[in-house]
Amino acid sequence: MTLYVLLGPTAVGKTELALQMAQKLRSPILSCDSRQIYRGMEIGTAAPTPEQQRQVRHYFVGTHRIGQYYSAAQYEQDVLALVRQLSAAHPASLLLTGGSMMYIDAVCHGIDDIPSVDSEVRETLRRRLLDGEIDKMRGELRLLDPDYYLTADTRNPKRVVHALEVCYTTGRPYSSFLRNEPKPRPFTTVKIGLRRDRDELFSRINERVDAMMSAGLLDEARRLYPYRHENALNTVGYKELFRHLDGEWTLAFAVEKIKKNTRDYAKKQMTWFAHDADIHWFHPDEREQILQMIS
């Protein structure tokens, strides 16, 4: 079996091409977006519309409630199980598409087997994070796992908290579980990447944010406001509008911050993907070449 992986930065144009590829391959779409799995975030995550989901069966869209724990490791297990389930009806190929870098790597190469975290430890650290103890927690990570501390993005609270969860649950440094050894897969992976010139991509991002606002993103954020401290909502688009709803920012300023932060995230995605020599790169307008390649 061949697993085609259509990837690229946010707003590059994956959605429409994915529908065409899925129809060409006669495959469902396995979404690889760490936020589209949550219900109620459809506008802010640019989730496939009901019409698009009627055209092609989608998996991993709106399957979890906000507040439900989910990770790249769980996604890896769920995708592998689904591939086994679908292999009888789709023995030749399947299509996975999205822009969540760690989730893509988890499926294609596997991630290290990290022990399950004790629920009480997780809840304690979550409350400490909400109480503003992130600087103190960084200090604890530096003492408990100096090797990981030197290489991790400690500005990202999620990375700090997860490493501490493992340290406190197991009594061992988080880094001791990280081996980065590729795992065997029951499929061949073909990665197809979409990219645009930076100015073109950034213009599309700005336009998409405006379209989201017109589609009701502010109302969606207002409905989600009671859950604002959940990790699922630590997401560009919602974080900025929550600050507007708190009275800190004007709406116009919040929208400009959404655009800037989305552009920054796209740059991070492009940097990550640039290190992967297995990706076949195309401009989204080269649709015929892509469809010809997969056939």
The answer on 9 and 94 residing in a single domain is yes
Q: Residue 26: give the domain boundaries.
A: 2-111+182-294
Does residue 203 share a domain with residue 142?
Answer: no
Asked whether the CA dihedral 53, 59, 64, 66 is positive or negative, the reply is negative
In angstroms, rounded to a whole number, what is the distance separating the alpha carbons of residues 95 and 210?
A: 30
Average pLDDT, the chain: 94
**Number of independent structural domains in the chain:** 2
Q: Which amino acid, residue 33?
A: D
Residue 159 pLDDT grade (very low, low, confident, very high; cuts 50, 70, 90): confident
What CATH number does residue 143 fall under?
Answer: 1.10.20
Please work out, in degrees rounded to the nearest 5, the angle formed at the alpha carbon of residue 118 by the alpha carbons of 229 and 136. 55
Whether residue 133 sits in one domain with residue 90: no
Residues 126 and 267 in one domain: no
Q: Give the tens place of pLDDT for each residue, 78-119.
A: 999 999 999 999 999 999 999 999 899 999 998 877 788 898
- Summarised one tens digit per residue, pLDDT across range 66-88 is 999 898 889 999 999 999 999 99
Please tell me whether residues 81 and 46 are part of one structural domain: yes
Cβ atoms of 192 and 290 closer than 8 Å = yes
Confidence of residue 161 (pLDDT cuts 50, 70, 90): very high
What is the average per-residue pLDDT within 164-169? Answer: 95
**Do residues 99 and 206 share a domain?**
yes
In a shared domain, residues 89 and 224: yes
Same domain for 192 and 85, yes or no, is yes
Residue 251 and residue 133 in one domain:
no
CATH code, domain carrying 105? 3.40.50.300
Query: Do 146 and 208 sit in the same domain of this protein?
Result: no
Query: 14 with 124, same domain?
Result: no
Alpha-carbon distances, residue 140 vs 147, 149, 159, 167 (angstroms): 13, 10, 13, 10
Whether 214 and 169 share a structural domain: no
